[in-house]
Amino acid sequence: MELVTEALNGNRYALARLISRVEDGGADARVSLAALYPHTGQAHIVGVTGAPGTGKSTLVNELTKSLRSQGTTVGVVAVDPSSPFTGGALLGDRVRMRDLAGDPGVFIRSMATRGSLGGLARATADVVKVLDAAGFAVVLVETVGAGQAEVDIARTAHTTIVIEAPGLGDEVQALKAGLMEIADVLVVNKADRPGAAQTARALEMVINRNAVHGTDNNVWRPPILKTIALDGSGIPEVLAAVAAHREYLRTGGAWVERERIRIETELRNVLQQELLDRLLARVGEEQIQAWVARIVAREVDVYTVVQAILGA
């Protein structure tokens, strides 16, 4: 409990240890999370997502620097698709954050995958809670956004920035459709490259198509902004759009609605994991392996086994 108190009082070493504890999960993590949970709910959680090659990390870096120059404290959670085998660090990625090191108003954490997807989503949500409780005004959650997992994690933010870049080919363009649905702010990064105007027009077409489907009378129309993250061009405009989206959520009642959806998803995920853990503890590993062997032998199929284990 002392660790929670110290972390909430601004002790960075305690904060780092608390985050590690929370990432690891288990009973200690639960006790800590229960203690810090009443302190959450203050941060503006901003998802930043985009396909590989869009310059996402550089943009997150610039957004962080710009927020800091306004005096806003920033937590960054980078969800890292690389494996534990590399130590969980993106090659050179965090190096770009070096100019932020030593600033007590910034805390950066890379999340390595922890075996299961559910595990990563759970750990990410819990680390965001710690940074929120520790008083960081904005928490940026950076995800690759090319797979459903990343989309699901980004969906838990209050505001989601989706980044595009010109010239990434057909497949990347196709990925947009899934991301567009969760985009609150659209950024065409690398806007000095050929094709930037075309990329922006393509995004506008999708936005217009979405607008036709809209039914709310308080509609947020995602702005399309151009940036060159490498030299900081367009960054203030992105932050202004993020702030405007926050206002829109706060005044229109959508803030609480997003919280509700996020928390309901989290509750289902945690319930599901706990149910399985308890079942496996009861059924026993030996029995599970015996069923697996029968399925491998094609004696019985997986759905029939599930009915047999749980009872019809």
Least Å distance, CB 117 to its own copies, is: 5
Q: Contacting its own copies (CB under 8 A), which of 105, 117, 237, 252?
A: 117
Least Å distance, CB 69 to its own copies, is: 26
* Number of shown-chain residues binding its own copies (CB under 8 A): 79
C-alpha distances out from residue 48 to 55, 131, 200, 294, 309, Å: 11, 17, 18, 45, 42
* Nearest residue (CB) to its own copies, 144 versus 185: 144
247-253 long-range Cβ contacts below 8 angstroms, 24+ apart: 248/218, 248/220, 249/158, 249/159, 252/218
Establish if 219 lies at the interface with its own copies (CB under 8 A): no
Q: Contacting its own copies (CB under 8 A), which of 5, 24, 28, 41?
A: 41
Residue 228 pairs with which residues in a beta bridge?
A: 233
* Nearest residue (CB) to its own copies, 243 versus 254: 254
Least Å distance, CB 99 to its own copies, is: 17
| Contact yes or no for 11/103 (Cβ under 8 A) | no
Binding range to its own copies, per CB under 8 A, among 155-163, 218-226, 227-235, 286-294: 286-294
| Contact yes or no for 202/216 (Cβ under 8 A) | no
Establish if 26 lies at the interface with its own copies (CB under 8 A): no
Tokens encoding 302: 């997986």
Tokens encoding 192: 């000095």
Q: Contacting its own copies (CB under 8 A), which of 6, 66, 72, 147?
A: 147
The CA distance from 274 to 126, in Å, is 16
The CA distance from 50 to 73, in Å, is 23
Establish if 191 lies at the interface with its own copies (CB under 8 A): no
The CA distance from 172 to 71, in Å, is 36
Binding range to its own copies, per CB under 8 A, among 192-200, 222-230, 240-248, 256-264: 256-264
User: What three-state secondary structure class fits 218?
Assistant: coil
Establish if 13 lies at the interface with its own copies (CB under 8 A): no
- Tell me, residue by residue from 195 to 214, as one string, x for binding to its own copies by CB under 8 A and - for no binding: ------------------x-
Name which of residues 166 to 185 contact its own copies (CB under 8 A). 168-178, 181
Establish if 254 lies at the interface with its own copies (CB under 8 A): no
- DSSP 8-state secondary structure symbol assigned to residue 113: P
The CA distance from 4 to 134, in Å, is 9
Establish if 101 lies at the interface with its own copies (CB under 8 A): no
H or E element in which residue 159 lies? strand 159-164
* Nearest residue (CB) to its own copies, 68 versus 113: 113
